[in-house]
Amino acid sequence: MLKNIPSILSPELLKVLMEMGHGDELVIADGNFPAASIARQTVSGQLIRMDGHGVPPVLGAILRLFPLDIYVPKPVALMQVVPGDKVKTPIWDDYRKILKASGEKFDDFEFVERFAFYERAKKAYAVIATSESALYANIILKKGVVIA
């Protein structure tokens, strides 16, 4: 056990977060996302399973340790709703609250078309698969730098 590390973060996930460098991206996927097939195509080929957890607690825990990239306009990306889909996305409001509470620089999300999101996810460092049931709950974080 370590002090001040959120218990939801596994040793495997902590290792991945430490390995990532400035500009690397991390996908936190909902339960409908093709996480295993996308993860095989990522830079590290890593899929981190967080079954039984939703995206908001995972996002909140990660942001306690993970700096967002301040050198890009929008270091947080969401999969935009497919045109014509009448799905509501209240989880995005939860994400805004978590991001603002983290103290990281955050103005708004970058919205990425569904298939472009999948292609971008394939270029990520790793994918975290959650059991999140909300639709359009996938999120990409771009890692920043730690300034001493």
Q: State which residues form the domain around 56.
A: 11-133
- Residue 143 placed within a domain: no
Average pLDDT, the chain: 96
pLDDT tier, 44 (very low <50, low <70, confident <90, very high otherwise): confident
Number of structural domains (the chain) is 1
Alpha helices, H only, 1-148 = 11-19, 35-39, 55-63, 91-102, 114-122
- Arithmetic mean of pLDDT, 34-57: 95
The predicted model scores a pTM of 0.96
DSSP state of 90: T
- Residue 147 placed within a domain: no
- Residue 66 placed within a domain: yes
pLDDT tier, 2 (very low <50, low <70, confident <90, very high otherwise): confident
At residue 147, the pLDDT reads: 85
User: Measured between alpha carbons, how far is 80 from 22 in angstroms, rounded to an integer?
Assistant: 25
Residue 134 scores a pLDDT above 80: yes
- Residue 5 placed within a domain: no
CATH number of residue 16's parent domain: 3.40.1650.10
What amino acid positions are annotated as catalytic residues? 22, 69, 118
At residue 1, the pLDDT reads: 72
- Residue 17 placed within a domain: yes
At residue 43, the pLDDT reads: 84
- Residue 73 placed within a domain: yes
- Residue 148 placed within a domain: no
**How does DSSP assign 27-46, residue by residue?**
EEE-TTS-HHHHHTTSSS-E
- Arithmetic mean of pLDDT, 54-62: 98
- Residue 96 placed within a domain: yes
